Amino acid sequence: MSVPSILAVDGNSLGHRAFHSTRHDPDVGPRAMTGAVISMLATAWIHGPYDAVVVGFDHPVNDRKRDYPEYKANREATDPALREQLGLLRTDLAACGFLVVEERGVEADDLLASTADACLDRGWWCDALSSDRDLTALVTEAGVRLLRPRATFADLVVEDEATVRSTYGIGPAQYTDLAAMRGDPSDGLRGVTGIGPRIAARLLRDHGSVHGLYAALTDLPPKLEAALRAGRQRVERNLVVMAPIPHLSVDVDAAVRSGVDLGRVAAILADHDLDHVARRFHRAVTEPPPPLPPAPTEEPDGPPVARPTRPTQIPADGEQAALF
């Protein structure tokens, strides 16, 4: 029996991408976001196959914003149309049979992290699908990867441990420390003045962690020591804000038991005149994927990185019934 593989999806990340790509198209209907997101899942399926889909969503109550008012304070208020469509997306994905998870006070990132932890505990594969770089910290050699779309969704960066080390110069477990020093302007979180990703990576290679670095402050050049002292409060705040909230419950066993019901997906999409999306998703799940291109991808702030692969799981005969 093959090892189960779960696709853990950041529903807010994909929903935002879908909303901004379709909002000005006069020909799309109220379920455009649902169609776009399931098309994105079909695109990502080449990196599977997957036995289950778990979709995490941000809860309207956000403990990080409560505890750190500066967190995302620089962002505009959510468009009411986006909020409405995200609600429809939750309903539609649950109706399709995917495990949709949301918990008071937490964000989708936290739920994806808990999904990855649950898979690791069981020795399963897990791919996290999100444009959020903070989820780089989830990557492990034991079987967790990050699928991160860039300018277009078809251009997915597939990050495993070797890719992370090649791109950032550190291991995935050090990524939150790097981000805490660098800061994240998109979330309104300043880091240490004058320390970018390359300097942060070098400091982490030398000292292991932020805590190890601050324990060795007096060994650093005076200018660097002064910058780190001045930014310490911000770094310590960032470590808390950027780290996943632990011990969340995601029932990955139930997700695998439910599997991927193509008939159910097709029926829901047909109700919204999205049969073409159902056909695309069906092909992605049932047909052998084409070989991945051998040419490496290239990050704007890093060296060329080859796409990783993992063993292919072939469904047993009759495991997926043809629908079209």
Q: Which pLDDT score, from 0 to 100, does residue 221 have?
A: 95
Which helix (H) or strand (E) covers residue 11, if one does?
helix 11-22
Task: Give one DSSP letter per residue of 49-105, joined into a string.
Answer: --SEEEEE---SSBHHHHH-TTTTTTSPPPPHHHHHHHHHHHHHHHHTT-EEE--TB
pLDDT average, residue stretch 280-300: 70
DSSP per-residue codes, 108-119: HHHHHHHHHHHH
DSSP-derived 3-state class of residue 19: helix
Q: How far apart are CA 113 and CA 117, in angstroms?
A: 6
Mean pLDDT calculated for residue range 62-91:
92
Q: How confident is the model at residue 269 (pLDDT cuts 50, 70, 90)?
A: very high
For the chain, give every domain's residue range. 5-164+246-305, 172-242
Asked if the model's pLDDT at residue 70 lies above 60, the reply is yes
Kindly report which listed range (198-202, 242-246, 312-316) carries the lowest average pLDDT score.
Answer: 312-316
Split at pLDDT 50, 70, 90, the class of 2 is: confident
Phi, psi angle pair for 320, to nearest 5°: -120, 120
- pLDDT for 154 equals 82
- Percent above pLDDT 90 for the chain: 77
Reading the block at residue 73, the tokens are: 């304070």
Helices (H), 107-261: 108-122, 161-168, 175-182, 197-207, 210-215, 222-230, 232-242, 252-258
Average pLDDT value for residue range 268-273:
95
> Is 89 or 299 the better-scoring residue by pLDDT?
89
Q: Report the percent of the chain where pLDDT is more than 70.
A: 87
Which pLDDT score, from 0 to 100, does residue 270 have? 96
| Burial state string for 108-117 with b = 16 or more CB within 10 A and e = fewer than 16 | bbbbbbbbbb
Q: Count the alpha carbons within 13 Å of 308 in the hemisphere toward its beta carbon.
A: 21
| Mean pLDDT for all residues in the chain | 88
**Architecture label for domain 5-164+246-305:** 3-Layer(aba) Sandwich (3.40)
> What is the spatial distance between Cα 234 and Cα 187, in angstroms, rounded to a whole number?
13
Report the alpha-carbon distance of residue 200 to residue 306 in Å, rounded: 24
CATH T-level assignment (fold) for domain 172-242: DNA polymerase; domain 1 (1.10.150)
For residue 304, pLDDT over 70 is answered with no
CA distance 245 to 251: 17
